[in-house]
Structure 1
Amino acid sequence: MTIQEYEEKLLQLIDDGIDTATDDELFAGGYLRGHISLAAAECELSSVESVESVEIMKAKIVSNINKAKRELTPQDFNFVVNFTVGLLRK
């Protein structure tokens, strides 16, 4: 799977849950969209397309969220992290 395909898959998973999402899930999904796109852009800039690319992208998403921890309340941060972990397992 390419980086672009994986980005599209994650964004589609978020979009698919919009109709049944709680307010917290909508917030986390919206917040996470930017981090997904940022991680995809970072991976594409490295011009490395391999089996490991998706794993690298997952790590970048988690890393970028952790770097942005100060942007969120502790409760929101925990919710975003849990939402992310669930999303990345799909």
Structure 2
Amino acid sequence: MTIQEYEEKLLKLIDDGIDIATDDELFAGGYLRGHISLAAADCESQNELQLSVMKEKVEQSITDAKSELSPSDYVLVCQMWQKVSA
């Protein structure tokens, strides 16, 4: 699976849950979409092919943005990441 295919898969998992998502899940999914897309773009610009590197980039990006979120929102985003990346 390529980085682009993995990105599409993750975004589809988020999108597929929109109809039944709670407000918190909608927030976390929307927030996470940006981190996923940025990580994928970063991997592609660096010719990185390893999905594990992309996952690490998303996780680091979420961690780096922790101060932007309330503690409860940070937990929601982390939970959403665990759900879609599993």
Question: What is the one-letter code of the residue matched to 1:19?
Answer: D
Percent identity of paired positions between Structure 1 and Structure 2? 60
> 1:6-60 CA distances to partner (integer Å, 9 max, x unpaired)?
00000011000000001100000000000000000111111132xxx11111111
**How many Å apart are 1:71 and its aligned residue?**
0.6
> 1:44-90 CA distances to partner (integer Å, 9 max, x unpaired)?
111132xxx1111111101000000011000100111111111110x
Question: What is the one-letter code of the residue matched to 1:62?
Answer: E
The count of corresponding residues between Structure 1 and Structure 2 is 86
* Residue of structure 2 equivalent to 1:29: 29
- DSSP-derived class of the 1:30 partner: helix
Please report the TM-score for the alignment, with normalisation by the length of structure 1: 0.92
CA RMSD after TM alignment: 0.7
How do residues 58-77 of structure 1 correspond to structure 2 at under 5 angstroms? 58-77=55-74
* Residue of structure 2 equivalent to 1:80: 77
Please report the TM-score for the alignment, with normalisation by the length of structure 2: 0.96
- DSSP-derived class of the 1:48 partner: coil
* Residue of structure 2 equivalent to 1:2: 2
